[in-house]
């Protein structure tokens, strides 16, 4: 391994770009102090959220955050590109796709012309995203029965 270089990064960092706390610039600044790369992950989609009937406030909280991210997405990408240069850190735009059945997944891209794209299920999500994107599971689903699927992230 003496010819290999190790890179340190964070593939799941939140701030106030959807729901969460802290400014985008602060999240990138903190990451640049310790890491070679980071993602700033906004909460974007939850295709099966309609199955949640008993937690209306939780449901509304998420939906409000998704709308906030969608409304500001293009500006967020512009800001991330500027912050990458300012703090000399590699930033990979990302968003989180939630699912009761399949669990939460982060969609990550290497470009700043990254579109918010969803799918009704994990297979459709992976089919719909660009070839420059990849999907990383964040945690398992909440349903009683989960479908097993190949991890193939590309």
Residue 90 has pLDDT above 60, yes or no: yes
Residue 109 has pLDDT above 70, yes or no: yes
Q: Burial-class residue 25 by CB neighbours within 10 Å (0-12, 13-18, 19+).
A: middle
Q: The domain 9-139: what is its CATH number?
A: 3.20.20.140
Residue 154 has pLDDT above 60, yes or no: no
* CA-atom Rg of the chain in angstroms: 16
Beta bridge partners of 135: 107
User: pTM of the prediction?
Assistant: 0.88
The 10s digit of each residue's pLDDT in 21-54 is 999 999 999 999 999 999 999 999 999 999 888 7
**Closest Cα partner for 94 from 121, 124, 117, 71?**
117
Above pLDDT 90, what percent of the chain? 75
CB 140 within 8 A of CB 146: yes
Instruction: For residue 153, name the pLDDT band (cuts at 50, 70, 90).
Output: very low
- The alpha helices in 4-113, defined as continuous H runs, are 24-34, 56-87
Q: Which three-class secondary structure state does DSSP give residue 73?
A: helix
Q: Report the pLDDT averaged over residues 134-153.
A: 69
pLDDT of residue 144: 59
Type and span of the H or E element at 42: strand 41-45
Q: What value does the mean pLDDT of the chain take?
A: 90
Residue 66 has pLDDT above 90, yes or no: yes
């Amino acid at each position: 391994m003496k010819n290999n270089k190790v890179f340190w990064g964070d593939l799941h960092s939140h701030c106030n770009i959807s729901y969460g706390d802290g400014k985008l610039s602060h999240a990138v600044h903190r990451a640049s102090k310790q890491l070679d790369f980071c993602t700033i992950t906004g909460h974007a989609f939850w295709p099966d959220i309609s199955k949640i009937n008993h937690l209306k406030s939780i449901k509304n909280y998420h939906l409000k955050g998704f709308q906030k991210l969608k409304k500001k997405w293009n500006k967020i990408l512009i800001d991330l590109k500027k912050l990458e240069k300012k703090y000399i850190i590699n930033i990979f735009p990302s968003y989180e796709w939630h699912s009761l059945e399949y669990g939460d997944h982060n969609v990550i891209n290497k470009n700043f012309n990254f579109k918010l794209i969803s799918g009704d299920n994990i297979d459709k999500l992976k089919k719909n995203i660009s070839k420059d994107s990849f999907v990383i599971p964040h945690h398992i689903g909440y349903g009683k029965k989960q479908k097993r699927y190949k991890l193939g992230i590309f």
